[in-house]
Amino acid sequence: MTENNQKRQHVRISGEAYIDYTGNEVLMFQKIIDVSVGGVKIIATQLEKVGTEVYVDLHFPELNNKVAYAEGIIAWVNNGQMGIKFTNISNEDKVIINEFVKRQENNKK
């Protein structure tokens, strides 16, 4: 299935957030396009191969600089963007992401 054909389990939302990740490359301060507790879409200056395991730090300036941590795999790569599917994320980190998602949804109302 392609990225566009998959049904999302979690709402993804955009906002002011950044990611640092370690895979084959170590990249800092990459722009998050959208995020949910299931994964994240980013703009990346260096692209990883699909299937690469990564460790991510998600930075949320709008939430007093809270940081969520997760392990994931590169699910897709296309046009300078990558999708990362989370494979291991704590409940505490899910709470931070959900707080960010809810804040962005409320800002759109």
Tens-digit pLDDT profile for residues 27-63: 999 999 999 999 999 998 899 999 999 999 999 999 9
Percentage with pLDDT > 70 across the chain: 85
Q: Which domains does the chain have, with CATH numbers?
A: 3-104 (2.40.10.220)
Q: Annotate 3-68 with DSSP letters as a single string.
A: GGGSPPSS--B--S-EEEEESSSEEEEEEEEEEETTEEEEE-SSPPPTT-EEEEEEEEGGGTTEEE
Give pLDDT, residue 14: 57
Give pLDDT, residue 16: 79
